[in-house]
A and B are shown apart, each in its own frame.
Chain A
Amino acid sequence: MKHRPVLDVSELPTYAFGARSPMWWGTLGFCVLEGTGFALAAGAYLYLAFLNPQWPLSAPPPDLIWSSLVTVVLIVSIIPNYLSKKFAEKEDLPRVQVYLIVVLAFGLAAIGLRFLEFGGLHVKWDQNAYGSLLWALLGLHTVHIITDVVDTIVLTVLMFTRHAHGKRFSDVGDNAFYWNFVVLSWLPIYALLYWGPRL
């Protein structure tokens, strides 16, 4: 077949931010499927809660202190996270570097607190179904925090190398997007696991 050029794309940019970039859509896709996983796991928890006359089964509700600290750290981390994204869009490398490190510090703090949180559950995973689901939901979310922190470490290191230009700035934005998902998905889980039994 012969070709008839009717469109010139040579002046188009080679990357963009947010919903213009395929990576943003990919991140959204993974957030949706993981969010579905969270919702179903929470559904399983509620299902058993309604099925059992007593819930939580023979265990006091889990301690509030560490989980609440995790929650505070995660919520506050949204700020440096937002700033990393904003300065990435301005392609302001020094500030992006600073805020990525701050985000990372929050992430590591959240992981540390999370391990303390496991200590305050008052129930083991192999004690009864309540313990099993409590550990499973918390474990599921912890995996997400760890994944994103590792991701952030790699990205931060990248931003200190010669690769720190162009599309990488857009990656910083998508990393922030995913972190927001990790934070937001935690809030209903926190309410369910820690405030549900206290109602």
Chain B
Amino acid sequence: MSEAYAAPDPKELRDHQVDGPELTTRLARTWGTKRGLIGALSTVDHKIIGRRYIVTAFLFLFLGGLAAAAMRLQLARPESRLIGPDLYNQLFTMHGTTMMFLFAVPVMEAFAVYLVPLMLGTRNIAFPRLNAFSYYVYVFGGLMIWVAFMLNIGADVGWFAYVPLSGPEFSPGKRADIWAQMITFTEVSALAVAVEIVVTVPKQRAPGMTLDRIPLFVWSVFVTSFLIIFAMPAVMLASTFLILDRLIGTHIFNPAEGGDALLWQHLFWFFGHPEVYIIFLPATGMVSAIITTFSRRKTFGYLALVLSLIATGFLSFGLWVHHMFTTGLPQLGASFFTASSMMIAIPNGIQIFCWIATLWDGRPVFRTPLLFVLGFFFIFVAGGLSGIMLASVPLDTQVHDTYFVVAHFHYVLIGGAVFPLLGAVYYWYPKIVGRLMDERIGRWHFWLAFVGFNLAFFPMHITGLMGMPRRVYTYQHEMGWDNLNLLSSVGALVFFLSFVVFLWNVITSARKGAVAGDNPWQAGTLEWATSSPPPPQNFDRIPVVTNREPLWAERETLSVAAGLSVDNRELIVSTVSEARADLRESSPEPSVWPFIAAVATGITFIGSIFTPWAAVWGSLIVGVTLIAWFWPKGAKEDEK
């Protein structure tokens, strides 16, 4: 096309004109974040944002864990007077909501934000300002609901907030409004990150990273991002409908005026079931990464693993109705959904088979990350078995809303996501922090967590079969549930203790851990090709990939591309399937406007709990902040 287009500027310094330490410092200056508060608030570095994201998500895990501790304390003895029914309702709502919306999904996206650009060999995520914005929106959503809880206007309608219970008639006051707005907040953030990943993966891979050379963790968050894009609008729509019903008197869920309460459940579970896989799929990516590295061999069945990820993604949408077996759906429908609920066991089985084959054929090194993966196998398979039991309609009808279900989903969620996640922390900590975590404390952590977890949750299968309903604040001595509950509570205590050990390890290793070096585990993927922690530019020169594990193929020298600008934030944009280098695009400079826009969004959402007009005026302010954000002020390409 036009001439002006590719003409290189003779004054512009390119990276083949400088080398070594000089290149590193110059690039670090170009890509760095300014000091001070404004610098911190305007950063667009995916590593800084990702690190904050991870820490924040773990803080919410801690808060959710505190709520769980309080519940277990209350349930340790029959007819305990510690916590009344009202507070208990808030506690399980805050626990479920925090774990699902503020911890589990965000923590997976947080790891993706940190790792994906490094694993792809690029310098930043696509749309870095949107990335900063999503993080702040997430923080405000989480803060809002926890501050509300402290002010005694916390949500108390369960993490699924079924109408009519959460509707205007049965939940007067602000509790359910705050819940609904928090949902909208976190979904805005989750969706934005999903779009960033869905663009980063196909467009910003290092040259040569064809589709069959993408690391499995990247594949897993890529598929997950599609699930988010198709599932989260459902819950956003639901929470918006809910707040409309509550605030301006619409009747969408009101049967008296032609609405329908089950519509809520359909919308909610259309999201809620894929949600489990949104949490679980990235965890499988972590498992693949850890198993491959610690088996010292290529992953067995790479293609099968990728196809299983995709198949799981598709199947996860067919299944939401299994949460509604007891709502009286037509028989045929129920059977169909039973069948598809069971079908999802197939790709899961294939994945487990490939992992075991990789371990079997390799020379596994049993360091802490791998221990957590083995713990994951054990717990997750147990959770899968009770899941197959639940997928059968007669049994589900029997144990519906008992502690059997509570046991099952904690096996799946904690076994399937939290254990791989802890393994992932041990695995990538040296990259993020530059030092290794302590191995001995790590083993203590693992065993306390494993024993504590099973002690806490296995007995719940039995209390559930014995008929103990969930979401009750106490039970009577005559029911015979005392000892099992006490056991659960003691187990929960041990499980918490394991997190204290973990925290201790994280904190002390940051100063005293062994210095990691670039690649302490001798792993094969690109995030290990740069220093630990990585410099602001991630890579001095963008790698050129010829192999699925580039660092195993090229141990001494890395093939790289040259010719990017040194003084301008350039990165390589590549073609979708073959990953041929196609453009040198400028990545956005830091800006404080995403932060201000997030503050404005926060004020708008919180205001609209009180008056619909806040939405109107708030949107105007948000609009102004967005214009400032998009305005190419001081853009380097315009200065020439």
A110 shortest CB reach to chain B, Å: 18
Residue on B nearest A54 in the bound complex, by CB: B258
| A111-154 contact mask (Cβ, 8 Å, vs B): 1 or 0 | 00000000000000111111111011000000000000010001
Q: A10-B14, A128-B257 are in contact. Are A26 and B581 (CB under 8 A)?
A: no
Cα–Cα, bound, A128→B559 (Å): 66
Asked if A60 is an interface residue, CB under 8 A from chain B, the answer is no
Q: Is the CB of A2 within 8 A of B5?
A: no
Contact B561 A128 (CB under 8 A): no
- Which residues of B have CB within 8 Å of A41? 237
Q: Is A12 in contact with B237, judged by CB distance below 8 angstroms?
A: no
Name the CB-closest residue of B to A169.
Answer: B2
Residue A40 interfacial (CB < 8 Å): yes
Residues of B near A57 (CB, < 8 A) are 257-258
Interface residue A6 (Cβ < 8 Å from any Cβ of B): yes
CB pair A7–B258 under 8 Å, yes or no, is: no
Q: Is the CB of B558 within 8 A of A25?
A: no
CB of B86 within 8 A of chain A?
no
CA–CA, A9 and B579, complex, Å: 13
Q: Are B251 and A129 closer than 8 Å at their CB atoms?
A: yes
Contact call B564/A9, Cβ cutoff below 8 A:
yes
| Cα of A36 to Cα of B260 in the assembled complex, Å | 21
Query: Residue on A with the closest CB to B204?
Result: A22
Which residues of A37-92 are within 8 A (CB) of B? 37, 40-41, 44, 47-48, 51-52, 57, 89-91
Residue from the list A4, A29, A126, A154 in contact with B558, Cβ < 8 A: A4
Q: Does A98 contact B (CB under 8 A)?
A: no
- Residue from A10, A89, A135 having most chain B Cβ neighbours under 10 A: A10
Q: How far is the CB of B601 from chain A (nearest CB, A)?
A: 14
Q: Which among B53-61, B109-117, B630-638 touches the partner chain?
A: B630-638
Known: A1-B518, A1-B556. A136 touches B637 (CB 8 A): no
Q: Does A32 contact B (CB under 8 A)?
A: yes
Interface flag for B334 (CB, 8 Å): no
Q: A131 to chain B: which residues have CB within 8 Å?
A: 250-251
Nearest CB to that of B19 among chain A residues?
A3
In contact, A47 and B263 (Cβ under 8 angstroms): yes
Smallest Cβ-Cβ distance to A164: which chain B residue: B638
| Proximity bits, B431-455, A CB within 8 Å = 1, else 0 | 0000000000000000000000000
Contact status A26-B237, CB under 8 Å: no
Contact yes or no, A48 B518, CB < 8 A: no
Residues of A with C-beta under 8 A to B207:
7, 9
The residue from B199, B254, B585 contacting A25, defined by CB atoms under 8 A apart: B199
Distance, CA A15 to CA B252, complexed state (A) = 46
CB pair B637–A167 under 8 Å, yes or no, is: yes
The answer on a CB contact under 8 Å between A48 and B241 is no
* Residues on A with beta carbons closer than 8 Å to the beta carbon of B203: 22, 25
- Give the contact stretch, choosing among B44-52, B228-236, B485-493: B228-236
The distance from the CB of A105 to the nearest CB of chain B, in whole angstroms, is: 20
Given A15-B583, A25-B198, decide whether A8 and B5 contact each other with a Cβ distance below 8 A. Answer: no
Instruction: Give A127 to B251 CA distance when docked, in angstroms.
Output: 8
Interface pair B199/A29, CB less than 8 Å apart = yes
Q: Does B563 lie within 8 Å of A44, measured CB to CB?
A: no
Contact A52 B558 (CB under 8 A): no
Question: Which 6 pairs between the two chains have the least Cβ-Cβ distance?
Answer: A10-B563, A132-B250, A129-B259, A129-B258, A126-B249, A29-B195
Q: Give me 19 A-to-B residue pairs in the complex whose CB atoms sit less than 8 angstroms apart, sorted by A's number.
A: A7-B561, A11-B8, A19-B576, A21-B573, A25-B203, A26-B195, A29-B198, A44-B237, A47-B260, A48-B260, A52-B258, A125-B249, A127-B251, A128-B258, A129-B257, A136-B241, A162-B638, A165-B4, A168-B632
Q: A7-B559, A22-B203, A90-B1 are in contact. List 5 more A-B contacts (CB 8 A).
A: A6-B544, A26-B196, A44-B237, A91-B4, A128-B258
